[in-house]
Structure 1
Amino acid sequence: MAESTPPKPPAPAAVRIRAAAALPAGSPGASTGTTIRLNKRMAELGLCSRREADDWIARGWVRVNGAPAVMGQPVALDARIEVDRQAEQQQRQQVTILINKPVGYVSGQAEDGHEPAVVLVQPQNRWSECNSRMRWGHEQLRGLAPAGRLDIDSIGLLVLTQDGRVARQLIGEDSNIEKEYLVRVSYGAETMNVQATFPREKLALPCHGLSLDGQALRPAQVSWQNPEQLRFVLTEGKKRQIRRMCEQVGLFVTGLKRVRIGRVNLGHLPVGQWRYLAPHESF
């Protein structure tokens, strides 16, 4: 009897589909011996977050110069980093949610008896005008975290995301994404026409010239929206920054609403409701 042909080994379930392009010769860091931790390099390249990179490495979804990656591996800046198709499929399922946070909710972990804004992310609170085809599922709450803070007594646009790339873009050390706020203020006993009584020259100080916690603040855009309300545009987000900036020039904040992050506007999203970030939107 003729011997049967042994079955062929199954084809790999995943195919490497993305790679970091090698740096051209002569570029800073190319072929100079400079190395960086693999997870940090992957984050710099915009492939994923550092934590996500570690997960992919542990799952065997990353190769460096053709060899399987190991945790904590140092890599040259011109190393070829390949990522498995399964990683992209996992990443595609991650959601980013926009919520109009009400007063009384904290951005992150529950504290002092106040609930985090994420508890509002339930099917009944989804905005009726959200046109995303994404279907709600409890797995979308896993790892869903705020990308930036909004004070408990403030309302407006808060971003919650499972995607480390979005978080890095909005709150990474090198982030310069604009955040726009409408800020209702009072000045002394004046609450109705603050613009008329507040010294004009003092408004230049929040734009450039204030410090918090011993550090100079980045330049800001500050202008009157109406006689009782200022418009702030910041590219950083220190704790209670706007309230503390106003206090330094003698203003008291009576209401604060974030209306824009980068190119994404709060729009008509009702307080306490949420929607998915649409595929065509980006910060």
Structure 2
Amino acid sequence: MAWTRVYTEAEPQRINRWLAQAGVCSRREAEALIAAGRLSIDGARVGDPGRKIAPGETLTLEDAASGPDAAPISVVVNKPVGIVSAQPEGRQVPAARLLTRGTLWGADGVGVPAGERLAPLGRLDMDSRGLLLLSQDGVLAKAVIGPDSRVDKQYVVQVSGPLDDRRIARLRHGLRLDGRALKPARVVRIAGQRLDVTLWEGRNRQIRRMCEAVGLDVVDLLRVRIGPLQLADLPEGRWRPLDPDERSALVRAATPGR
């Protein structure tokens, strides 16, 4: 199953910018989807990250499966600090480079997706760590980062600065980023300077910018959950395949009550 949408704006626009404005994914994630060969316009594969879409053209996010026995690859990674989620710049190391036989965890007989281009479904910035989902599955991408997705993401955040009830209340509701109001967030103080934060959207560096807006600095940011998918005991720097039951649970979580 593929996700499609007709471009209805008056002027042509870069695909990555349009998808970011529509809330489908970040610009970096859109570039990763293009690099993975996942996007097409009116049936023609998009290969240029700078490609613009024109009024009336149809953008399609496709599954990677190319035959009845083919299955799109999805993996779960515990990303360390210093690794980028998607397209690297300069000497940056992308998370896909962690996918080796030596870092595979607890899955005997699984092949390493060498040469496969996997897009991040919910990016983690280079200074953050924890649960990262890499995939070439269009249906799963729509479920996790699509504009209508209801999949939440949970983080454990260590902050520095004056942390009080007033600042926590502002983090929960009332902040704006890039001129737009943020959706309400669940923010609970765990102990000391540690917060449990759950988001229902994924703006660029959102938690760091939220904290900065209330006078706090993020010291450590760990993502522990994406919808029903838990980081659990996956060691840092290791990866494993996403199993079919986990995929089904994520797709179901995108549209509760369906």
User: What TM-score do you get using the length of structure 2 for normalisation?
Assistant: 0.70
The residue aligned with 2:23 is none
1:40 equivalenced with 2:10 (yes/no): no
**Match of 1:179, as an amino acid?**
K
The residue aligned with 1:179 is 153
Instruction: Give ranges in structure 1 of 5+ residues lacking alignment.
Output: 1-17, 19-37, 42-48, 59-71, 74-84, 189-197
Q: Which of 169, 173, 182 pairs up with 2:143?
A: 169
Report percent identity of matched pairs. Answer: 42
- Cα deviations across residues 79-133 of structure 1 (Å, max 9, x unaligned)? xxxxxx974422xx22110000001011111114211011001111001x237x6
SS at match of 2:93: coil
User: What TM-score do you get using the length of structure 1 for normalisation?
Assistant: 0.64
**Match of 1:40, as an amino acid?**
T
**Match of 1:184, as an amino acid?**
Q
**Match of 2:236, as an amino acid?**
V
1:200 equivalenced with 2:168 (yes/no): no
**Match of 1:130, as an amino acid?**
A
Alignment of 1:99-138 (within 5 A): 99-127=77-105, 129-130=106-107, 135-138=110-113
- Cα deviations across residues 248-272 of structure 1 (Å, max 9, x unaligned)? 1111110000000000000000000
Aligned partners of 1:100 and 1:271 also within 8 Å: yes
Moved over 2 A (4+): 49-55, 85-90
The whole-number CA distance in structure 2 between the counterparts of 1:104 and 1:207 is 28
Instruction: Give ranges in structure 2 of 5+ residues lacking alignment.
Output: 6-32, 45-56, 59-64, 251-258
Question: 1:137: how far off?
Answer: 4.1
1:156 equivalenced with 2:130 (yes/no): yes
**Match of 1:136, as an amino acid?**
G
The whole-number CA distance in structure 2 between the counterparts of 1:53 and 1:213 is 27
Compared with structure 1, are the counterparts of its residues 249 and 106 closer, same or farther at alpha carbon in structure 2 (3 Å cutoff)? Answer: same
CA RMSD of aligned residues (A): 3.1
SS at match of 2:111: coil
The whole-number CA distance in structure 1 between the counterparts of 2:132 and 2:111 is 19
The whole-number CA distance in structure 2 between the counterparts of 1:109 and 1:54 is 19
Question: 1:172: how far off?
Answer: 1.2
Compared with structure 1, are the counterparts of its residues 242 and 249 closer, same or farther at alpha carbon in structure 2 (3 Å cutoff)? Answer: same
